[in-house]
Amino acid sequence: MKKYNVALCFLLMYCLNTSAQNKRIHQRVDSVLRFMTLKEKIGQLNQYSGRDVTGPSNPQQYNLRNEIKNGMVGSMLNVKGVKDTREIQGVALQSRLKIPLLFSLDVIHGYKTVFPVPLAEAASWDTAAIRLSAHTAAKEAAASGIHWTFAPMVDIARDARWGRVMEGAGEDTYLGSVIAKARVKGFQGERLGGTDAVMACAKHFAAYGAALAGRDYNAVDMSEQMLQEVYLPPFKAAADAGIATFMNSFNTLNGIPATGNRYLQRDILKGDWKYPGFVVSDWGSIGEMTTWGYADDLKDAARHAITAGSDMDMESQAYKKELESLVVSGKVNIKWIDDAVRRILYKKFELGLFDDPYRFCDATREAKVMADNSHQLIARSVAEKSIVLLKNENHILPLQQAPKSVALIGPLIKAKKDLAGSWTVYADTASITSVYMGLRKKFSSQTTFNYARGCGINDTSSAGFHEAIELATKSDIVIMALGEAGDMSGEAKSRSDIHLPGKQEELFNAIKATGKKVIVVLMAGRPMIFNDIADKAEGIIYAFWLGSEAGNAIANVISGDYNPSGKLPITFPRAMGQIPIFYNYSNTGRPVTATSGIVYKSAYIDLPNTPRYAFGYGLSYSSFTYSDLKISKAKLTQKESFNVTFTLTNNSAFAGEEVVQLYLQDKKASVVRPVKELKAFAKIMLKPGEHQGVTFTVKPDQLAFYKPTQGWITEPGSFKLMIGAASNDIKLSTDFELQDVVNQGLSSNK
């Protein structure tokens, strides 16, 4: 009891302290705002790029330095390094009010050290690792003068044609929300202001991941229920975790561009969620509202954006050119400008920039942090955790006894830059370890490695096949590295066909025809389709793009020095025609329940409904059994939590980790529910032969769904609880009943 009181006192003191500090910052913000002219206020809402990297901009059109000196710029993106940020900050300090600039950058999965792409990290289901990866990236960026990263991308993505699936945590709302929180905490540290942390930015608000037909920058149409249940929760999780900023998106939502969308930004984000941070537009998205056919011209676009709640204009120059006359003519209320400026100044104070504008510009710290070798080790560990073992026929992996000769074949065997993936414009890609390097280092003394490229990533010629076949024939075993080039997934990289590009699968078939055993390492930013490989290869490792330590991590998995534990965060289809395909689809009136007798069922006549690899799937060198499922209560009242316990046993000779997954199905509701939804998971390490009791607590809000007229509600009735190793591999299940609120104990009305 005493302990409890002390903890409560500390919590109370912390809250009082924080609210006193918030109050102080608000007072300081007001004291600056009071002296600002309208022009200077608008200047704070203006963001320019120092480099032309992600969209059309013409730096010749404006004299940047003069604009900064005149207080016309609040933030810069794409300026990095202590030398440059210090110099440009110096220009801002020559302005009348000496308001410091915010330096921002897309630090998506690493800065100098490259971590696995976010989709790969999501496959680790390891929030501590993900948080550490984000924090290490933040450390490097902050040491290099950066205050703010445009990450994490928390868009749910169910369409692998969309190139930006690579930047998010995959298809699931719960997993995406947990990872969103981990990334926010990683980038920002416990609270803003540390010189080893940066402000994070939840993007792209909202529903960008549902861009029609998987085509980037496209329109989105979706029901309110889908928006609230599937696409918004990761944003809410980021907001709850204290994320400093949001970025809106290029898409429309039900006909209204997100950038000019009042419902999203004012009603939901700043209204319902009481979000105190600021919103930056996406690159040029304010101006693009005219191209959409939504705004008359740039002035009208500026009016839409500011009144809808877009606080900062990234690269449209709409605010800079149009806001003043809009305010003077009374078309835009000054209260919107003041509100936006307040939100931005608050963050500048919180970061400590008013006290020391150069606090992120320490050249000694920059040199020290960039030379920190521990970052490589972190990158290797996160990369190992991100690898998913898809197939392991007759336990071909790990290669416990080093083979005498290995043929290394494929266009990605020696690749380095491709393994960095998209959004690594400032990374040290030369020092990335290729698969070739990683394997040679691991097996060096015992094994001869023979190399043939076979074909290029997107080749139409099979000229290199012959050499590769010869090499395979004279080797004991073949390891192939196939996949996408580093610029085939990412922004503006939507693909209408996600089969393995070029002649790569043909090359695989030619090598397989030699009769040799083949292990295939697949590397890409998205799920790919590779049915021949899935059917015929003995071993398949899905490595996504793993970054700086890719080759070492893959070699550790192949040799058995690391036992793979990743699980897919996104469904892998068998065919393009199945897209969009995801595990938490809703039931139908004619569901397919068996492989035959599918006529007049919700089925394809030429293809099973099932994916090639399901959400949550991934193998380990260990094998696990699940037993003894118990729930603490089979009948619940509306406000009750209950415990679920079961036993997990490692019945193999390998120590290993298993991601155990808890799914729920609301069997009948006033709105048709998904067949299952992930509600909890845990990653558990067990020694050979060891077993452990696992407990999950299910809370009432995990049973809730969104009903447009009522908000989040639970309805009484029967639920199914499932414990599985994957969404399609349910090991244990049981039913429970949620009782009626009014008539507890009486029969339910479901």
Q: CB under 8 Å to 98, separation ≥6 — which residues?
A: 92, 357
Nearest approach in angstroms of CB 150 to ligand BGC is: 3
- Give me 619's structure tokens: 């193998």
* Radius of gyration from C-alpha coordinates of the chain: 27
Pairing state of beta strands 405-409 and 477-483?
A: parallel
Q: Give the Cα separation of 17 and 12 in Å (integer).
A: 8
| Between 205 and 613, CB nearer to ligand BGC | 205
Nearest approach in angstroms of CB 151 to ligand BGC is: 8
| Between 40 and 491, CB nearer to ligand BGC | 491
| Between 247 and 419, CB nearer to ligand BGC | 247
Q: Give the Cα separation of 705 and 716 in Å (integer).
A: 12
Nearest approach in angstroms of CB 206 to ligand BGC is: 13
Q: In the set 25, 38, 55, 376, which binds ligand BGC (CB under 6 A)?
A: 55
| Between 201 and 378, CB nearer to ligand BGC | 201
Q: Give the Cα separation of 527 and 573 in Å (integer).
A: 8
Question: Are 546 and 166 spatial neighbours (Cβ–Cβ below 8 Å)?
Answer: no
Q: Give the Cα separation of 629 and 647 in Å (integer).
A: 7
Nearest approach in angstroms of CB 49 to ligand BGC is: 7
Pairing state of beta strands 245-248 and 201-205?
A: parallel
> Which of 421, 9, 22 lies closest to 193, judged by CA?
22
- Residue 657 phi/psi, 5-degree rounding, is -110, 140
Nearest approach in angstroms of CB 161 to ligand BGC is: 17
Q: CB under 8 Å to 27, separation ≥6 — which residues?
A: none
Nearest approach in angstroms of CB 105 to ligand BGC is: 8
Footprint of ligand BGC on 96-115 (CB under 6 A): 106
> Which of 111, 676, 671 lies closest to 369, judged by CA?
111
Q: Give the Cα separation of 47 and 201 in Å (integer).
A: 15
Binding mask 148-167 for ligand BGC (x = CB under 6 A): --x-----------------
- Give me 422's structure tokens: 């998209």
Q: CB under 8 Å to 31, separation ≥6 — which residues?
A: none
First-to-last C-alpha distance (Å) of the chain: 43
Footprint of ligand BGC on 228-247 (CB under 6 A): none
542: contact with ligand BGC by CB under 6 A: no
- Cα 623 → chain centroid: 29
> Which of 83, 67, 96 lies closest to 75, judged by CA?
67
Number of residues near ligand BGC (by CB under 6 A): 9
Q: Based on the residue annotation, tell me whether 701 is a catalytic residue of this protein.
A: no
Nearest approach in angstroms of CB 216 to ligand BGC is: 9
- Taking CB atoms, the residue at the shortest distance from ligand BGC is 150
| Between 108 and 694, CB nearer to ligand BGC | 108
Q: Give the Cα separation of 343 and 197 in Å (integer).
A: 19
Cα angle vertex 138, ends 137, 143, to 5°? 105
Nearest approach in angstroms of CB 244 to ligand BGC is: 15
> Which of 446, 461, 460, 511 lies closest to 481, judged by CA?
511
- Give me 135's structure tokens: 């924090």
Catalytic residue among 106, 159, 282, 313: 282
Binding mask 59-88 for ligand BGC (x = CB under 6 A): ------------------x-----------
Binding mask 191-220 for ligand BGC (x = CB under 6 A): ------------x-----------------
| Between 55 and 403, CB nearer to ligand BGC | 55
Counting every residue written for the chain, the total comes to 750
Binding mask 270-309 for ligand BGC (x = CB under 6 A): ------------xx--------------------------
| Between 106 and 172, CB nearer to ligand BGC | 106
Nearest approach in angstroms of CB 153 to ligand BGC is: 7
- Cα 456 → chain centroid: 29
Provide DSSP, 143-204.
HTT--EE---B------TTSGGGGGS--S-HHHHHHHHHHHHHHHH-SSTT-TT--B-EEEE
Binding mask 444-483 for ligand BGC (x = CB under 6 A): ----------------------------------------
Nearest approach in angstroms of CB 55 to ligand BGC is: 5
| Between 251 and 739, CB nearer to ligand BGC | 251
Question: Are 537 and 516 spatial neighbours (Cβ–Cβ below 8 Å)?
Answer: no
Q: Give the Cα separation of 483 and 446 in Å (integer).
A: 28
Binding mask 558-597 for ligand BGC (x = CB under 6 A): ----------------------------------------
Binding mask 476-515 for ligand BGC (x = CB under 6 A): ---------------x------------------------
| Between 200 and 694, CB nearer to ligand BGC | 200
CA atoms within 13 A on the CB side of 305: 39
Q: In the set 44, 46, 54, 252, which binds ligand BGC (CB under 6 A)?
A: 54
| Between 52 and 393, CB nearer to ligand BGC | 52
SS3 content of the chain, % helix, strand, coil (to 5): 35, 20, 45
Q: Give the Cα separation of 235 and 228 in Å (integer).
A: 10
Nearest approach in angstroms of CB 167 to ligand BGC is: 8
| Between 157 and 660, CB nearer to ligand BGC | 157
Residues in contact with ligand BGC by CB under 6 A are: 54-55, 77, 106, 150, 203, 282-283, 491
- Which amino acids are annotated catalytic? 282
